[in-house]
Chains A and B, each alone.
Chain A
Amino acid sequence: MHSVKITVTLRKSILDPQGKAIEHAISTLGYGQVGEVRTGKLIELKIDCPTKDEAERVTNELCKKLLANPVMEDYAYTIEQA
């Protein structure tokens, strides 16, 4: 069994208005040194398979087919044996 954590974020070239709104709130709190805030989604799932390679293959497939939209999003993941 493998535990997978996937993060989906807007591509760097795309303005993230939620990130901007949060950044604005952070600066209002007085943290002027904080910037470049970006938001995204965290998706956790488990994959029942023998090897990490297989888990990685399934994860990539899922990201491409459903979890991320390549027109506007990038994804990254970590896989751990559970």
Chain B
Amino acid sequence: MSHRAKFGVVVFPGSNCDRDVHYVLSEIFQQEARYIWHKDSSLGDIDVVILPGGFAYGDYLRCGAIARFSPVMREVVQFAEKGGVVVGICNGFQVLLEAGLLPGAMLKNKSLNFVCKYVHLRVEDATTRFTSACRKGEVLEIPVAHGEGNYIVDEETLKRLEDENQILFRYCDRKGAITEEANPNGSMANIAGLINERGNVVGLMPHPERCSDEVLGHVDGRKFFQSIINSFRD
């Protein structure tokens, strides 16, 4: 039997996608998954930490701003520094930005509306541990649900992200063209997901856990989780 990866799903007060992520990992993929309460001061024996979507601490002050000072976040930062695999989805991505594990910040969507719909994403790099089950340039259909996904970063950092291939997913149309119309929130360079330089931390606004079960009609999200699981196979 192949090695099962051990996942920890962090639960902040206000997280609301924690159970979806746990369900997909344990029921669809038959992996080990457990919850980690935000007050825990140890992550335990795990391979991957997932910061799920939601509204941690009500998104008071700024999205992710209070959550990043939760006791568990000290552990998450150390885990990442040691090379541990860290995934931030939606609100979790915002927490990673506030914690400085990925560069930049999220502004309110350009439209001012909360956007909840399926979008198309282009996989910019299929050589990472988060995208190895995809093809480069592949278009995935995955839903977003956020009010603050309008990514911003200074020009110098943006150039570095592009040069170093750290933009992992971009909003695109169904054919893979990067257009303004396909951008649901005004995000700079249509950025939907980023990976750090070392390749062990990823953040993305779309929700792969919401499209991994066949009863929901779409399963493109599976490729994301499958890639991570594959990266732990011998």
Contact = CB atoms under 8 A, between A and B. Distances in A.
A72 B94 CA distance: 14
A41 to B, nearest CB: 8
B98 interface: yes
A4 interface: no
A14 B62 CA distance: 16
Interface stretch (B107-115, B124-132, B208-216): B107-115
Interface string A51-82: 00000000000000011010110000000000
Nearest to B66: A66
A21 B98 contact: no
A17 interface: yes
Contacts of A72: 105, 107, 152
B181 interface: no
B61 interface: yes
Contacts of A27: none
B69 to A, nearest CB: 7
A14 B150 CA distance: 11
Contacts of A66: 61, 65, 69
A45 to B, nearest CB: 13
Given A14-B107, A21-B112, A72-B107, A67 B61 contact: yes
B110 A17 contact: yes
A25 to B, nearest CB: 12
B65 A10 contact: no
A14 B65 contact: no
Interface in B99-143: 103-105, 107-112
B65 A71 contact: no
Given A67-B61, A71-B153, A71-B154, A10 B107 contact: yes
B113 to A, nearest CB: 10
Contacts of A3: none
A69 B65 contact: yes
Given A66-B61, A66-B69, A69-B65, 6 more contacts: A18-B112, A21-B112, A67-B61, A69-B98, A69-B105, A72-B107
6 contacts: A14-B107, A14-B152, A17-B108, A69-B105, A71-B152, A72-B152
